[in-house]
A and B are shown apart, each in its own frame.
Chain A
């Protein structure tokens, strides 16, 4: 696996981050070192073990399909300056 500048910039773009030139120079060797270290996982024989996405067994919890208490529209909008006519205002989509 080749960890190069192109891959780093691609991953950053997927994560919606723009890295400065300084950050790229700093992160690149660090990521190479880290991913090489993490690659040792490949050497572990896991056989037919199933992946654990939770550490304990969990049961799906369903609630009754009833209306509950929630934030009012004003409350929900109170934490942003980007709003208009009772809605959140976002950047243009296209």
Chain B
């Protein structure tokens, strides 16, 4: 049953919202035992919302029937604040932290009748490609539990594959929506930087963090995007752009749209099975009337990783300075000087990858190194944005694989060095550096594992991505 039909059945009372919520929460508990997708199941919140909706449905107030997400279960990446629900961003340093307020996106979802069912597992603060860098559960791939879900929104993507009548809120800094969506065979849309408010999102890299929807269908993604996009005065980087009806793009034909196949994103370093399936996806777009041709984009593929990691770790190292064991989160016995106390709290509670990135970022910003690393990366970023902008004069969207590989086994990931980890982000970092919206579209299976195609569009052109993603979905 598709989401809109389901919402109608909730409205008409054919499905009892409270019974349905109890059932979904039980399903979450069962799935969680095997797959570890949720750090917290917010049972009281979801049931409270369900009872309130049931009461309102029985009353004469008809406003409830206009709510766009009525009764839909929404899971939330653990880096996004939900009032009174433990929010850790996957870090021990935030264990027990229960925010005093809802993030902007959570307020919007609640207003539209969406039910918050829990907080999904992730890499600590988003630091990872495979969701293994967590102080809590490590999510397992829905198609093979010995393999990774991708990261860092791994729990969100895995749960989207497994749980019906549910949409997930993910977050991406360098590919954390697209990569797990690809590994779990679902749709994931990372919006333009600033399109969705970051108010209430726990910062990783504030010039790149974006909240976006992950869903089993492109319709689900468009539906949630409709609700969370828009200006918010509480986020100084929120774009003051006109609101859009993203659902209208679902049925728009793609005839005549121009697709640029990024030449450097195919061939060496990309698994052959991945490439084959992505080409199938491009063929489906062509069958629907789009025109595809190759384009060379050297900078984003060749220098995306160093550019991204220098900016991301620099910003992360300043953002993480606020965790000092004083006002919230982990604390220790108050003894010693300021510096001794802060050092103790941070050293005892940050995970290994968090420490590595704090050190990298602190280094890149230090006197003597700042120009060569951080500032240089920021200049390369300008060139990269220009290169993309030039391409979008000719093309409606660009295409590459989402990941160069099929979901790897945990035993294989263990053997990777940090640099090899970072290199796995080659396809996704650059659109993130440039703040461009991008969408993972599932295009096929290989060895029973999903393959994803990455579509990238110009700033604020999320609609085109939904249009193209929908065309591929229909073609299947």
The judgment on whether A and B are partners is yes
Give Cα A79–Cα B310 distance, bound, in whole angstroms: 33
Give Cα A42–Cα B336 distance, bound, in whole angstroms: 42
CB-defined interface of A72-93 with B at 8 Å, one 1/0 digit per residue? 0001101111100000111111
Give Cα A30–Cα B309 distance, bound, in whole angstroms: 14
Taking a contact as CB atoms under 8 Å apart, the answer to whether A52 and B327 are in contact is: no
Taking a contact as CB atoms under 8 Å apart, the answer to whether B375 and A17 are in contact is: no
Contact (A33, B362) CB under 8 Å given A46-B379, A46-B380, A91-B336? no
B339 / chain A contacts, CB cutoff of 8 Å:
16
Taking a contact as CB atoms under 8 Å apart, the answer to whether A11 and B419 are in contact is: no
A18 / chain B contacts, CB cutoff of 8 Å:
343-344, 347
Taking a contact as CB atoms under 8 Å apart, the answer to whether B419 and A34 are in contact is: yes
What is the distance, in angstroms, from A51's C-beta to the closest C-beta of chain B?
A: 3
A88 / chain B contacts, CB cutoff of 8 Å:
326-327
Taking a contact as CB atoms under 8 Å apart, the answer to whether A54 and B100 are in contact is: no
Highest count of chain B CB atoms <10 Å: which of A23, A39, A58, A78: A58
Taking a contact as CB atoms under 8 Å apart, the answer to whether A58 and B303 are in contact is: no
Taking a contact as CB atoms under 8 Å apart, the answer to whether A79 and B385 are in contact is: no
Give Cα A50–Cα B381 distance, bound, in whole angstroms: 9
Contact (A91, B341) CB under 8 Å given A17-B355, A52-B381, A61-B233? yes
Give Cα A32–Cα B468 distance, bound, in whole angstroms: 43
Taking a contact as CB atoms under 8 Å apart, the answer to whether B380 and A8 are in contact is: no
Taking a contact as CB atoms under 8 Å apart, the answer to whether A78 and B100 are in contact is: yes
What is the distance, in angstroms, from B134's C-beta to the closest C-beta of chain A?
A: 18
What is the distance, in angstroms, from A36's C-beta to the closest C-beta of chain B?
A: 9
Taking a contact as CB atoms under 8 Å apart, the answer to whether B359 and A41 are in contact is: no
A93 / chain B contacts, CB cutoff of 8 Å:
337-338
Taking a contact as CB atoms under 8 Å apart, the answer to whether B347 and A40 are in contact is: no
What is the distance, in angstroms, from A48's C-beta to the closest C-beta of chain B?
A: 9
CB-defined interface of B33-62 with A at 8 Å, one 1/0 digit per residue? 000000000000000000000000000000
Majority DSSP secondary structure for residues of A touching B: loop
What is the distance, in angstroms, from B264's C-beta to the closest C-beta of chain A?
A: 15
**Within residues 277 to 291 of chain B, which ones have a CB less than 8 A from any CB in chain A?**
none
Query: Looking at the complex, which one of B305, B328, B343 makes contact with A80 (CB distance below 8 Å)?
Result: B328
Taking a contact as CB atoms under 8 Å apart, the answer to whether A41 and B380 are in contact is: yes
Taking a contact as CB atoms under 8 Å apart, the answer to whether A51 and B381 are in contact is: yes
The answer to whether the Cβ of B266 comes within 8 Å of any Cβ in the partner chain is: no
B366 / chain A contacts, CB cutoff of 8 Å:
11, 14
CB-defined interface of B355-396 with A at 8 Å, one 1/0 digit per residue? 110111011101001001101111111110100000000000
Taking a contact as CB atoms under 8 Å apart, the answer to whether B375 and A37 are in contact is: no
Q: Report how many residues on chain A are interfacial, defined by Cβ distance under 8 Å.
A: 54
Q: Report how many residues on chain B are interfacial, defined by Cβ distance under 8 Å.
A: 74
Give Cα A5–Cα B312 distance, bound, in whole angstroms: 24
A61 / chain B contacts, CB cutoff of 8 Å:
233, 236
Highest count of chain A CB atoms <10 Å: which of B339, B340, B347, B422: B347
Taking a contact as CB atoms under 8 Å apart, the answer to whether A37 and B306 are in contact is: yes
Query: Looking at the complex, which one of A30, A56, A80 makes contact with B194 (CB distance below 8 Å)?
Result: A56
Give Cα A94–Cα B435 distance, bound, in whole angstroms: 44
The answer to whether the Cβ of B434 comes within 8 Å of any Cβ in the partner chain is: yes
**Within residues 312 to 359 of chain B, which ones have a CB less than 8 A from any CB in chain A?**
317, 321, 324, 326-329, 331, 334-344, 346-347, 350, 352, 355-356, 358-359
The answer to whether the Cβ of B459 comes within 8 Å of any Cβ in the partner chain is: yes
Complex: chain B residue closest to A90, CB-CB: B326
Give Cα A46–Cα B116 distance, bound, in whole angstroms: 46
Taking a contact as CB atoms under 8 Å apart, the answer to whether A51 and B382 are in contact is: yes
The answer to whether the Cβ of B307 comes within 8 Å of any Cβ in the partner chain is: yes
The answer to whether the Cβ of B192 comes within 8 Å of any Cβ in the partner chain is: yes
**Within residues 8 to 63 of chain A, which ones have a CB less than 8 A from any CB in chain B?**
8, 11-12, 14-19, 23, 27, 30-31, 33-35, 37-42, 44, 46, 49-56, 58-61, 63
Taking a contact as CB atoms under 8 Å apart, the answer to whether B362 and A49 are in contact is: no
What is the distance, in angstroms, from A42's C-beta to the closest C-beta of chain B?
A: 6
Taking a contact as CB atoms under 8 Å apart, the answer to whether B192 and A56 are in contact is: yes
- Known interface pairs A37-B305, A54-B435, A93-B337; 15 further A-B residue pairs with C-beta atoms within 8 A, sorted by A's residue number: A11-B359, A11-B363, A11-B366, A15-B358, A23-B352, A38-B310, A44-B303, A46-B379, A52-B378, A52-B381, A61-B236, A80-B331, A82-B326, A89-B334, A90-B338
Could you write out 27 A-B pairs with CB less than 8 Å apart?
A15-B321, A16-B324, A16-B339, A17-B355, A19-B347, A40-B303, A41-B377, A42-B376, A44-B383, A46-B380, A46-B382, A46-B383, A49-B379, A49-B382, A51-B379, A52-B379, A56-B193, A58-B236, A60-B236, A75-B100, A76-B100, A79-B327, A80-B331, A81-B331, A82-B326, A90-B341, A91-B340
| Shortest beta-carbon contacts, A-B, top 9 | A55-B435, A51-B378, A91-B341, A79-B328, A46-B379, A15-B362, A38-B306, A52-B381, A52-B382
